[in-house]
Amino acid sequence: MRYLLLVFLIITTQIEAQNNDQKQINEIYNTALTNGSGYAWLNYLSNQIGGRLSGSLQAQKAVDYTKKILDSMGLDRVWLQPVRVPKWVRGTPEFAYIESDPGLTNNVPICALGGSVATPLGGIKAGVVEVQGIEGLKVLGKEKIQGKIVFFNKAMDPTNIDTYMSYSGSVDQRYAGAIEAAKYGAVGVIVRSLNLRLDDFPHTGAMSYGDTPMESRIPAAAISTNGAELLGATLKLNPDINFFFRQNCKMLPDVDSYNVIGEIKGSTYPNEILVVGGHLDSWDLGDGSHDDGAGCVQSMEVLRLLKATGYKPKRTIRVVLFMNEENGLRGGTEYAEQASKNNEKHIFALESDAGGFTPRGFSFDCNQANFKQIESWKSLFEPYLVHLFVKGGSGADIGPLKNDNIVLAGLRPDSQRYFDHHHSANDTFAHVNKRELELGAASMASLIYLFDQYGIK
């Protein structure tokens, strides 16, 4: 009899807890969709400040603005965490053309890759050789590449439904193309933009020279997908064409910047910290609305939603707006170093850095015991059409926090349109849907709520 009574009490307690969870999550979603603030914050961040390249005046304005917003939210603590960041500047707009015959040219849209050196003042004009990825360099060999511009034309694979798999399959030519091409005597590289559609927007992104000496570094630029198609077709008709491009970007000394941090102190386990965040810096071509203004305002909105619904967290919930994810990861690295130095106990970290599109679910970097608990929450998200709970990556900025005692997670919105905008002038506020942005914030707040309620295994 006692055993049956105990079973009854356990089942009753579980049902009551689930009902409480359903009510809290429903209130979070209702508040986000009827009284959200993130869209207005993003409007200011995008349209009044604009692209926030690490080390720029706009990046500092974004620090000041987001700290002001966090200060106004009645959090227990708001502060700036100093971090030294690289300062790369693009300079005047880049220019390029295909020369099919002397004096016969077609202009094509390009942009310098982040971290690239400049061309000589008058630009570079040379013959072109096309390769389908870095592996194509070895096939051609030094004899055919010496003194030429290497055109990396490996497209993102359109057959992957997960577009990040396509991105991963092509991004090495952007990041390491200049290093590898220089080994074969190339004088410059042009890289097909990482974009699944055909358009006229070149997409920038980080590239590296590794330990290549300064005098051996060659300039690198991205060409729009339409431009890449034209260049590839022209090369097939006439392999002896020339390509001209000019850019005057440069790397300046590191400068001071900040991570922006705010927190609500936990009532029961204040030393257990849950982090939610995005990266405040962006590339400079657009206004960085999807990458990653959306993630920043969603993360700020998580704390506002919890307060607006009257929820009192058991654990400390902290929002971190990381600086310098795009071209250095200095903010994420500094945050993790300071957390370790201060002996802080982080048990969960969630990042939004995949655009402000409709949320589909989350990916988790965790052990099986924690993943089993997470899977038990799936039914709570089903009414909101959030159904993807998978093991996988989390986010670049929270990656340095990884250890055996933390669960890392990334918001996974629908990705089909993300690379239309990623790192390009097409990443603007006009392409953010208010309702989709709010649904993402509500999903994140709901997950944070559950980890606060139940902790980790």
Tell me the catalytic residues: 325
Cis peptide before 420 (omega within 30 of 0): no
Task: Tell me the β-bridge partners of 223.
Answer: 110, 192
Structure tokens at 406: 């933390």
Instruction: Compute the 3-state secondary structure of the chain and give helix, strand, coil in percent, each to the nearest 5.
Output: 40, 25, 35
Structure tokens at 11: 């089942």
What is the DSSP secondary-structure string of 113-182? PBTPPPPPTT-EEEEEEEESSTHHHHHH-HHHHTTSEEEE-PPP-TT-SSHHHHHHHHHHHHHHHHHHHH
Describe the strand order of the beta sheet including 104-107 as a list of residue ranges: 104-107, 95-101, 242-246, 124-131, 149-152, 188-192, 220-223, 110-112
First to last CA, the chain: 31
Note the Cα 68 to chain centre separation in Å: 23
Alpha helices (H) in 256-386, listed in sequence order? 294-308, 330-341, 368-375, 378-381
Number of neighbours of residue 234 by Cβ within 10 angstroms = 18
Q: Is the dihedral of CA 337, 343, 344, 348 positive or negative?
A: positive
Helices (H) and strands (E) in the chain, counts: 13, 16
Give the DSSP H or E segment for 274: strand 269-279
